[in-house]
Amino acid sequence: MKANTLEEAVALTKKFTSKPSNEELLKVYSLYKQASEGDNEEERPTGFDFVAAAKYNAWLALKGKSKEEASSDYVELVNKLSEKYI
């Protein structure tokens, strides 16, 4: 089963039977945010919320990537991960 659109790829992630690594999850998250919202314009998280900071930084690293390119990269990554986690 391969996803062709952002929506299909999101649905495919819900079928994963085991959890991807934190690094893989950050990549999936950041590509999804870039594809759906564009550049990260949110405030940097403060304090000791390391998960929020990692997510913020992963998304910020994609600044300037078009929504279309991020969407394509997201679908490609989810299809690749689905081979390991479904």
Residue range 27-38, pLDDT digits in tens:
999 999 999 999
Is 42 a member of any domain? yes
The stretch 44-64 carries a mean pLDDT of 96
What CATH code is carried by the domain that includes residue 66? 1.20.80.10
CB 8 within 8 A of CB 74: no
Q: Domain of 19?
A: 6-85
Please report, for residues 7, 43, 61, 69, 72, the alpha-carbon distance to residue 47 in angstroms, rounded to integers and kept in the order given. 34, 13, 20, 32, 34
The residue that leads in pLDDT, 54 or 47, is: 54
Q: How many domains does the chain have?
A: 1
Q: Which amino acid is at 69?
A: E
The stretch 44-67 carries a mean pLDDT of 96
Q: What is residue 33's predicted lDDT score, i.e. its pLDDT?
A: 98
Is 1 a member of any domain? no
- Give the list of residues 6+ apart from residue 62 with CB closer than 8 angstroms, or none: 30, 31, 33, 34, 39, 40, 70
The stretch 49-70 carries a mean pLDDT of 97
Tens digits of per-residue pLDDT, 4-14?
A: 999 999 999 99
Q: What is residue 1's predicted lDDT score, i.e. its pLDDT?
A: 82
